[in-house]
Amino acid sequence: MEKKKRVTSYDVAHQAGVSQSAVSRVFRPGLSVSKKTREKVLATAKKMGYKPNAIARMLITQSSGMIAVIVSSRANLNYPDVLSLLNKRIAEANKRVLLFTLDDAEGLEDILDHLWTYQVDGVIALAAHFDHNSISQFEQHHIPVVLYNRQVADHSVSSVSCNHEMGLKQLVDLLIKHNHKDYLIISGPQDSDVANERRFFAEQALAENGFKDTPVVYGDYTYESGRLALSKYLKNHKRPTAIICGNDNMAIGVVDEAKQNFGLSVPKDLSVVGFDGINAATWFSYQITTIRQPANQMTKAAVDILLDQIENKHNVAETRFWSGELIEGMSVAEANPE
């Protein structure tokens, strides 16, 4: 079984006694071909084990049928869910996901180079940091992009986002209502755009209520970093009564650290809020008050927008926004200073 040459449309055509283009037409939906030849072709194709070669098809149609999804390792840990949803929707559109991860090893430039060569039909970027230069490159290559939870203000590029401003305002308002006056912000990493946005809007909402210069410490979105951030902070500072976390994972870490190493109980001694609305945030032992991102709607919109731009080749950028849903857990209570 040396070189079992793969069977091509020519082979099928020859065997079935028709032309190669007839075979091609049979396998392209919606093209005119008589019942008789269609059946004849399908039968011999099946017998010979013929499957159209998508690579050759890509070359001639100038369209790969592949969507690149770029997920940043700096990004929030709720992205596995998002990726899964995206993949499902893209598959429904009969396209495929080509996966890229953006990390220290492989920077954006490397990934972009691959994108051009792979001729992907479009790109969905999860919270990756795109500067203007990158966006221009996409325009030059005529590849539509949809940014997920990331916007580039003065450039025409589509995006779907959760309204972090409104979400944080809701969370802060809730804390204010419970008479909190001593805050701490535990932000996601400084090189994450989403993290910076959430931190900024938290500060802004606090400032609107007269609380300026709220202390900020930084984690990296993980559970452990939430714990560490709290323990380091409490070593040198007075205990705050409310902590605003950059995501749910860190909020959960904060709850555990407070409980285990500082004998603080949430929410009696400490109110904690998160962001994202991941599953674990609803678990009985945590019940974090948080903002749930509408991942279902957001992923659906991302794919819809992208497909529209691919098909209609127009250049107008569309931005869609969702205000997250406030989930009131059991992690916020009346302020209780020490």
Partner DNA sequence: TTGTATGCGTTATCAA
Partner DNA sequence: TTGATAACGCATACAA
Longest CA–CA separation in the chain, Å: 89
Instruction: Work out what residue 301 binds among DNA, a copy of itself, none; the CB cut-off runs from 5 to 8 Å by kind.
Output: none
Nearest Cα neighbor of 82 from 97, 74, 92, 71 is 71
Specify the residue for token string 């709290």. 230
Task: Tokens for 322, please give them.
Answer: 């969702």
Q: Which residues of 178-189 are buried (b: 16+ CB within 10 A; e: fewer)?
A: bebebbbbbbbb
Neighbouring C-beta atoms of residue 176, cutoff 10 Å: 19
Question: Of 8, 38, 48, 96, which lies in the binding site for a copy of itself, with binding defined by CB under 8 A?
Answer: 96
- Identity of the amino acid at 164: H
What part of residues 43-62 is at the interface with a copy of itself (CB under 8 A)? 49, 51-59
Q: Which stretch binds a copy of itself (CB under 8 A): 115-123, 128-136, 157-165, 320-328?
A: 115-123
Neighbouring C-beta atoms of residue 300, cutoff 10 Å: 17
Q: Which residue's CB is nearer to DNA, number 21 or number 84? A: 21
- Contact assessment for residue 270 and residue 241, using Cβ atoms and an 8 Å cutoff: yes
Region for residue 274 given its phi and psi (left: phi exceeds 0; alpha: psi -120 to 50; beta: otherwise): beta
Based on the shown chain and the rule CB under 8 A, indicate whether residue 330 belongs to the binding site for a copy of itself. Answer: no
Nearest Cα neighbor of 194 from 67, 88, 78 is 78
Least CB distance to DNA at residue 118 (A): 12
Q: Which residue's CB is nearer to a copy of itself, number 10 or number 283? A: 283
Q: Which stretch binds a copy of itself (CB under 8 A): 83-91, 128-136, 192-200, 230-238?
A: 83-91
- Contact assessment for residue 287 and residue 330, using Cβ atoms and an 8 Å cutoff: yes
Instruction: Work out what residue 279 binds among DNA, a copy of itself, none; the CB cut-off runs from 5 to 8 Å by kind.
Output: a copy of itself
Based on the shown chain and the rule CB under 8 A, indicate whether residue 185 belongs to the binding site for a copy of itself. Answer: no
Instruction: Work out what residue 28 binds among a copy of itself, DNA, none; the CB cut-off runs from 5 to 8 Å by kind.
Output: DNA
Interaction pattern, residues 128-167, with a copy of itself; x per rule: CB under 8 A:
------------x-x-------------------------
Specify the residue for token string 């099928």. 12
Q: Which residues bind a copy of itself (CB under 8 A)?
A: 4, 49, 51-59, 64, 66, 69, 80-81, 83-84, 87-88, 91-92, 96-101, 103, 105-106, 113-114, 116-119, 140, 142, 223, 252, 255-257, 259-260, 279-280, 283-286
